[in-house]
Structures are given as structure tokens and as C-alpha cells.
Amino acid sequence: MIQWQALEEKLAELPLYIYSSIDPAALEFSRRVRQVCETECPMYGKTWACPPAVGSVEECEKKCRSFQKCLLIGTVTECEDIGNMDSALATRGGHERITNQVRDILRELGVKPYILSTEACAVCERCAYPDGLPCRLPGKMHPCIESHGINLIPTLETLGLGFQYGEHVVTWYSLLFYNE
Ligand code: SF4
């Protein structure tokens, strides 16, 4: 079993805005979130980290709920203008690096997390998915939270958190599911 105190000591060394243990059963899964992927996201069907490759919302829900624990982490970064997509997305790499650091901490503590993070996977220059080939680096690939149909807003509200903190602040979240 992971010692929460040992985990907290490691997390406290990282530039996290928030970390919290949440119950996977309390997450809200919604077909409406998936519809946004299908109708509004240019990455739909382009990577292994996006729908439909990640499976149906029901399959994603079953997988996430199969874990006993979930660690939510969040970062905030200043940017020129959150309305400028390039400026906002430029902050994403930093959050992904921190997510990978938390992944490594959990691995050191003896668990193998299943990770949902931000946007589509950008590990390879060109994803293998459109070519019908398997993911080259499944250990490094993190589907985004929304790809699984998760509406994170109710969870954030319960924790007193938000998604937006003004026009110069970008907020990113990741979920790390694990079994003890
Ligand atoms: S690691 Fe590479 S092949 Fe796998 S999902 Fe990411 S971009 Fe695609």
C-alpha cells in the first residue's frame, strides 16, 4: 500500500498548483464530452490517445473505475493571452513533464499508474494510428481526460478549483489511476 505521506513529500517538491486523491467512482462520465471530440476536435481519429482509438465512453468508464485510487494533479502557468491557442498550448509541455515526474514517483512507490492528461499525444512527430500501426511508445502515451468522456468540472468544483483563472493563466490537469 502506498504511504500517502511518502507520496506527499515527493509531490511537495514539484511545482504543482494542486494534488488530491479522488475516488474514481465519483468521476462524471458523459457522452456529451465525447460528442465534443467527435464534432469539434481536429485530432479526432488522428492518434492512439484520442477517440475512437481509446474505446467507447462505456469502456473508458469501466477501465477508470476498475482502479482503486486516482491522483488528480494540476499546474498553472502564465501565458500572454489564453485566447491565443498557440500561446496557451505552448505551456502544455511543462505540464506533461510534471505529469511524467509524478508517474515516475508512483512507479518508484511500486504502482503502475494509468494516466490521462492533456490534449492529443504529441510524443512522435507522426502518430502510428493513421497508418494502422501499433502505438510506438504506449508507456509514454497519455490519452487526454476528455477523450475518456470525463467531465472534470464537477470534480474540480467539489475541490473548490476552477479551469480558468483569468486571461493570462493556463490551467492543466492530469489524472493518475492506480491500484495499491
Ligand atoms: S506515442 Fe507515438 S504512436 Fe503512440 S499515441 Fe503517441 S504519437 Fe501516437
For 85, the enclosing helix (H) or strand (E) is: helix 85-89
State whether the Cα torsion 113-119-121-127 is positive or negative. Answer: positive
Which range marks the domain in which residue 94 is found? 4-178
Asked if 50 contacts 130 with a C-beta cutoff of 8 angstroms, the reply is no
* Distance (Å) from CA 166 to ligand 1 centroid: 32
Test site for ligand 1: of 43, 44, 48, 131, most ligand atoms within 8 A of the Cβ = 48
Taking Cα atoms as reference points, which of 23, 48, 50, 41 lies closest to residue 175?
23
Q: Is the CB of 141 under 6 A from ligand 1?
A: yes
Taking Cα atoms as reference points, which of 137, 88, 103, 143 lies closest to residue 119?
143
pLDDT digits (tens, 9 = 90+) for 33-92: 999 999 999 899 999 999 999 999 999 999 999 999 999 999 998 877 777 777 777 778
Bridge partners (DSSP) of residue 144 are 117
Question: How many domains in the chain?
Answer: 1
Evaluate if residue 4 carries a pLDDT over 90: no
Q: Is the CB of 136 under 6 A from ligand 1?
A: yes
Nearest CA to ligand 1 atom 2: 124
Q: What is the pTM of this model?
A: 0.93
pLDDT digits (tens, 9 = 90+) for 119-129: 788 889 999 99
Which atom belonging to ligand 1 lies closest to the Cα atom of 127?
8
More confident residue, 79 or 171: 171
Determine how many CB atoms are found less than 10 A away from the CB of residue 58.
Answer: 11
Pairing of strands 69-78, 18-22: antiparallel
Q: Is the CB of 173 under 6 A from ligand 1?
A: no
Q: Is the CB of 2 under 6 A from ligand 1?
A: no
* Distance (Å) from CA 130 to ligand 1 centroid: 10
pLDDT digits (tens, 9 = 90+) for 96-109: 999 999 999 999 99
